[in-house]
Amino acid sequence: MIRFTKTEVRDLLISFVVISLSFAILFTGRNLTSALYILPIAMVGVGVGFILHELGHKFASMHFGYWAEYKLWPVGLVIALISSFLGFVFAAPGAVYTYGNFVSERENGIISLCGPIVNIVLALIFLMIAVAIYPAAFYSGALQIVFLICSLGFSINSYLAAFNLIPVWNLDGSKVLRWNGLVWVIVIAIAGIMTYLSMTIGVESIVRLIIGL
């Protein structure tokens, strides 16, 4: 059975709001008024990716029979907000802690991999929705908002996957690399390419290439 403590739910909600606000600030050119305006959109495109990333770790840990709990990192929350004003987001507001006496390197690698994999899958889902609605979005204000959500969802989930796979400090990438170097190379290459395309040609151009416009 999947269980959440009250403290864990609180920490997830606080981190969800802060990480969504951080990316909203980043994408509005550090304009607080505009950031608050698009915050609900960011919460769907960004916050959902963050929550499911952490739950991916938690469910994988519990699959192996370990207790796992998300805990926020107050310093990480502050760094996320400050970095958003500097033109990037240091997306480490907290982490899922796995409690077990004999967690193997393989298990730890798989648990760490699940978060970025969730972000990659979410990014592709957002992209597929964007492709499906793109032609109709020209004639519907509601669909334009959905397309914006999907664009942010693709960009940020790609970024979250790539960022967390960097093999430094206590990020997921360091544990995945210790377990299986080939898996790490393949997954970070996918996340990196997706992030690079979203930051260079943009999501709309990716969509237009896919549908042949």
The catalytic residue positions are 54
Half-sphere exposure of 57 (CA within 13 A, CB side): 26
Residues near 113 by beta carbon (within 8 Å), at least 6 away in sequence:
172, 176, 179, 183, 187
Transcribe 94-125 into DSSP letters.
EEEEEE-S---HHHHHHHHHHHHHHHHHHHHH
Q: Kindly report the length of the chain.
A: 213
| φ, ψ dihedrals at 68, nearest 5° | -135, 140
DSSP β-bridge partners for residue 67: 99
DSSP β-bridge partners for residue 68: 98
Helix (H, G, I), strand (E, B) or coil at 85: coil
| Alpha-helical runs (H) found in the chain | 6-27, 32-42, 48-63, 74-84, 105-137, 141-164, 172-179, 181-200, 203-211
